[in-house]
Amino acid sequence: MRILSGGLQHETNTFAITPTTIADFQRDSHFGDELGDAFQIRQRFQGTNTIHGGYLQAADDLGAELVPVLNLRAYPSGIVTKETFELLVGELIGRIHAALPADGILLDLHGAMVTEEFEDAEAEIVRRVREAVGDAVPIVVSLDLHANVSPALPDVSDVIIGFDTYPHVDMGERGYEAMAMMAAMVEKKVDPKMAYRQLPLLTLPPMQCTLREPMSSFLKKLKLLESQEGMLTATVAMGFPFADVHCMGVSVIAVAEDDLELAEAVADQLAQMLWDLKKQLQPNLVTIEDAMQQSRETDGLVIFADGSDNPGGGAPCDGTVALEALVEAGFKGAVVATFYDPETVQVAQAAGKGSTVQVALGAKVDDRHGKTLHVEARVLKLCDGAFVFGGPMAQGLSDTLGDTALLEVNGVRVVVTSVRKQCIDRNMLKVAGVELDSVSLLVLKSAVHYRADFGLYAKLMLDADTPGIHRPDFNCFNYQNGRSGQCYPLNPLAELA
């Protein structure tokens, strides 16, 4: 059995002002100036908790030949340029053609990529792959939990399997499941029938989290339905709310063994169950002043999740609202991580460890995340920022914060990086010289993913009331797409069809 795999992942925040180009995909994919070949993809992902890690493991276990032709991602940011999309999809299709024949195609996609031309870029990618390989070759698509799935995507895919968890700790498992499903399809052991439902429902990151209620109980019910007789797999895509596109929002996919009626029934059940939770999915936001007060009253670590400036959802990661308040208060024991400001890192590097520097900190991308702070800072540590994910999410994958400086401003420590990256792993603090037991109030530029590795160590986790293009508050965005206004909660009277 010969299976080809390809991947192109981007979560597009259409409110971000910086467009996404080929240079972003090259930098964030870690293949140097190249786009990576099968050997490099295998080397990077084998043994990691990622979709491709799961594909590779399952192929080895099942004795299938897996040929990864391309696997590229760019860190979440603004709209992908037309030129970039055409170049990358052209490369994917060209490499698939060159690697044919194949018994099946696995596609490792995100589900919330928006380009200058395509609102649902994944549907266009799969459509072109389908055109290249024909109807007889099965295509199994993997998606992020934050996918905005339009009806066009299930139309061109045989099976869609999305992450079940947020934080996304099941990437390896879902990749494994996709490869195993593919093998069973190729061997004619299964004949999947897929049902799709789009809900008039928009949800926000803090409450999409499957480690807290109501989603943790919902996930258990999803697993129960998925394991019932005749069912093959089920996915609830919670949607990415910071993309102003017509297909934004929650959708459900259910796949049954040669039984469309069963798939439809389970999809309806899941849709209804989620719809019934809609009022519980609204977040409760806390100001930094309240967080400081709660930290003073708490014996142990308090985390202030500054999701509004989460780079993992396309935000700049240099917002200063929380930092400014902490510095003004001289809040000792507070750490802000990670904070993207390559210019400031350079200033710190030029001055050297132990020196005191004048810096203009943050708010360099736009004016929606606070103002630039002109402050005096002490350089506590300098490093190259290279780390390996040690927590449950993406475990084993190597990555970098770029050149990094640990600064201290009026008692507050700030991990300043040269690469924009969501702080979700304790190793990201460790490399910068911050030991968790020295921190009382930790401001993380993360909405939910941090919980996978930091959650066990925190006494209290608070969702930040700060401004930004990833703020979990629909009222802050002027949606133009026409569908969002019909969806709950923007339309409180919306009804499930």
Residues that bind Zn ion (CB under 5 A): 144, 146
Closest CA to 436 of 307, 327, 333: 333
Query: What CA–CA distances, in Å, run from 275 to 103, 227, 349?
Result: 39, 21, 52
Closest CA to 149 of 218, 67, 235, 59: 235
Smallest distance from the beta carbon of 240 to Zn ion, in angstroms? 7
Q: What are 72's two structure tokens?
A: 């590229």
Identity of the residue, 144 or 158, whose beta carbon is nearer to Zn ion in the bound complex? 144
DSSP 81: P
Do β-strands 104-109 and 139-143 pair in parallel, antiparallel, or remain unpaired? parallel
Identity of the residue, 149 or 416, whose beta carbon is nearer to Zn ion in the bound complex? 149
Identity of the residue, 146 or 381, whose beta carbon is nearer to Zn ion in the bound complex? 146
Identity of the residue, 144 or 318, whose beta carbon is nearer to Zn ion in the bound complex? 144
Query: What CA–CA distances, in Å, run from 144 to 33, 51, 243, 459?
Result: 26, 10, 15, 29
Identity of the residue, 1 or 211, whose beta carbon is nearer to Zn ion in the bound complex? 211
Smallest distance from the beta carbon of 487 to Zn ion, in angstroms? 19
Smallest distance from the beta carbon of 144 to Zn ion, in angstroms? 4
Alpha carbon dihedral 192, 193, 198, 199, in 10-degree steps, equals -90
Within 10 A of 328 (CB to CB), how many other CB atoms are there? 11
- Burial class from Cβ neighbours inside 10 Å (0-12, 13-18, 19+) for residue 201 reads buried
- Return the residue matching tokens 């796949």: 255
- Burial class from Cβ neighbours inside 10 Å (0-12, 13-18, 19+) for residue 235 reads buried
Identity of the residue, 146 or 445, whose beta carbon is nearer to Zn ion in the bound complex? 146
Q: Please, are residues 80 and 120 in contact by the beta-carbon 8 Å criterion?
A: no
My answer on whether omega of the bond before 214 falls inside 30° of 0, hence cis, is yes
Identity of the residue, 35 or 444, whose beta carbon is nearer to Zn ion in the bound complex? 444
Within 10 A of 264 (CB to CB), how many other CB atoms are there? 17
CA distance 464 to 469: 13
Residue nearest to Zn ion (CB): 146
Smallest distance from the beta carbon of 274 to Zn ion, in angstroms? 17
Q: Please, are residues 141 and 161 in contact by the beta-carbon 8 Å criterion?
A: yes
Closest CA to 270 of 228, 234, 239, 240: 234
Identity of the residue, 119 or 144, whose beta carbon is nearer to Zn ion in the bound complex? 144
Identity of the residue, 240 or 331, whose beta carbon is nearer to Zn ion in the bound complex? 240
Query: What CA–CA distances, in Å, run from 382 to 324, 426, 434?
Result: 23, 18, 12
Smallest distance from the beta carbon of 452 to Zn ion, in angstroms? 12
Smallest distance from the beta carbon of 167 to Zn ion, in angstroms? 9
Identity of the residue, 10 or 413, whose beta carbon is nearer to Zn ion in the bound complex? 10
Within 10 A of 293 (CB to CB), how many other CB atoms are there? 12
Identity of the residue, 124 or 144, whose beta carbon is nearer to Zn ion in the bound complex? 144
Smallest distance from the beta carbon of 113 to Zn ion, in angstroms? 12
Smallest distance from the beta carbon of 257 to Zn ion, in angstroms? 28
Identity of the residue, 146 or 193, whose beta carbon is nearer to Zn ion in the bound complex? 146
Q: In what order do the strands lie in the sheet with 251-257?
A: 192-198, 251-257, 231-237
- Return the residue matching tokens 């070949």: 37
Smallest distance from the beta carbon of 357 to Zn ion, in angstroms? 36
Q: What are 306's two structure tokens?
A: 């500054």
Smallest distance from the beta carbon of 146 to Zn ion, in angstroms? 4
Q: What are 427's two structure tokens?
A: 């190793």
Smallest distance from the beta carbon of 364 to Zn ion, in angstroms? 26
Closest CA to 51 of 192, 160, 200, 155: 160
Q: What are 206's two structure tokens?
A: 């803090």
Identity of the residue, 104 or 313, whose beta carbon is nearer to Zn ion in the bound complex? 313
Smallest distance from the beta carbon of 145 to Zn ion, in angstroms? 5
Smallest distance from the beta carbon of 75 to Zn ion, in angstroms? 12
